[in-house]
Amino acid sequence: MRLRRTALTVIIIFAALLAAGAARASTIGFAQVGSESDWRTAFSADMKAEAARRGITLLFADADNDVQRQRAQVLGFVAAHVDAIVLAPVVVTGWTETLEKVRAAGIPVFLADRAVDSDPSLFVARIAADFNLEGRLAGAWLAQATLGACGIVELQGSVGSEPTIQRHKGFLAVISQFPNMRILHSLGGDFTSDGGRKAMESIIHSTDGLKDVCAVWSHNDNMLLGTIAAMHAAGLHPGRDQLMVSVDGVPDIFRAMLAGDSNMSVELKSDIGKYIFDVVQGYLGGRRDYPKWVLIPSALHTPADAAAALAKHGF
């Protein structure tokens, strides 16, 4: 009986020490993609604010869309002996060696937003939305809006990134069900407004003013906003002569909807710091039952709810 009581006491003390470990002001390294879009900027701001709210020391590294730099930044967190690393990887490939070094240092890794193609044992969990679903939602919305007949221009995000790969796949999976829906031209815009504008300027020129183009599908709002500027400069009417569809749900796309220049955006939540740090702090506190993918839900917005969506963002 005495032995059982002693064992129970030891277990309780151990659990309390573990919990205290998590509550201890931890130092977390956050390796961010860059600042290529309004969504990314909002996500970074949310992570910093949430870390401050929780008393977390956040070491923030901006890779400026350069995966080589990002890998070095992750190893810099190892050298700094952080308690955990949150990684939003620029591209999916080329991470195994770096993540193996992080594991050898005994530091847990959590993926946020994007994904890697390395063995899932190299990270605890990925907290992110379903990019493939976003592509399918955009394709389905366009199919119903055009009764399944549309020649489409696609603006692709950064080459090799998870959102570009999966949004393209998801969109194609739906429109390929409709014989009269097809992608006429697909150009990269690197998720930036300037990239979208330059890509569209080239397409307007090569299609003699978007002849036969019924819609523009952009992997994010910023490229679509750049596209809208290029179409206006060419005397075209985005949102009227061509349906304009994208992903992110940033404030400026809701403004474009209210101006009649955009027709639909699939929202990618940017205020996800609370979900990410819940998982990180739970893990540091001893929880081990997290799924490999903690799914963040998506929503869909049109001009019908653009004003309400802006108000919700506090704009």
State both tokens at 16.
């309390």
37 binds ligand AHR (CB under 6 A): yes
Which range, of 31-39, 66-74, 228-236, 293-301, touches ligand AHR by CB under 6 A?
Answer: 31-39
Q: Nearer Cβ to ligand AHR, position 54 or 167?
A: 167
CA–CA separation, 108 and 157 (whole Å): 29
Q: How many binding residues for ligand AHR (CB under 6 A)?
A: 12
Q: Nearer Cβ to ligand AHR, position 93 or 177?
A: 93
Which range, of 32-40, 44-52, 92-100, 236-244, touches ligand AHR by CB under 6 A?
Answer: 32-40
Q: Nearer Cβ to ligand AHR, position 155 or 243?
A: 155
89 binds ligand AHR (CB under 6 A): no
Q: Please report, in angstroms and rounded to a whole number, the separation of the first and last CA atoms in the chain.
A: 64
Dihedral over Cα of 15, 16, 17, 18: its sign: positive
- Could you tell me how far CA 23 lies from the centroid of its own chain? 28
- Residue 211 Cα distances to 195, 261, 310, angstroms: 22, 18, 33
- Please count the residues of the chain: 315
User: Which residue of 114, 168, 197, 269 would you call a contact of ligand AHR, by CB under 6 A?
Assistant: 114
Which of helix, strand or coil describes residue 233?
A: helix
113 binds ligand AHR (CB under 6 A): yes
CA–CA separation, 46 and 29 (whole Å): 15
CA–CA separation, 89 and 73 (whole Å): 11
Touching ligand AHR, residues 244-273 (CB under 6 A): 247-248, 268
> What x/- string results for residues 186 through 225 when contact with ligand AHR is judged by CB under 6 A?
-----x----------------------------x-----
Q: What are phi and psi of 267, to 5 degrees?
A: -75, 130
Site of interaction with ligand AHR (CB under 6 A): 36-37, 39-40, 113-114, 163, 191, 220, 247-248, 268
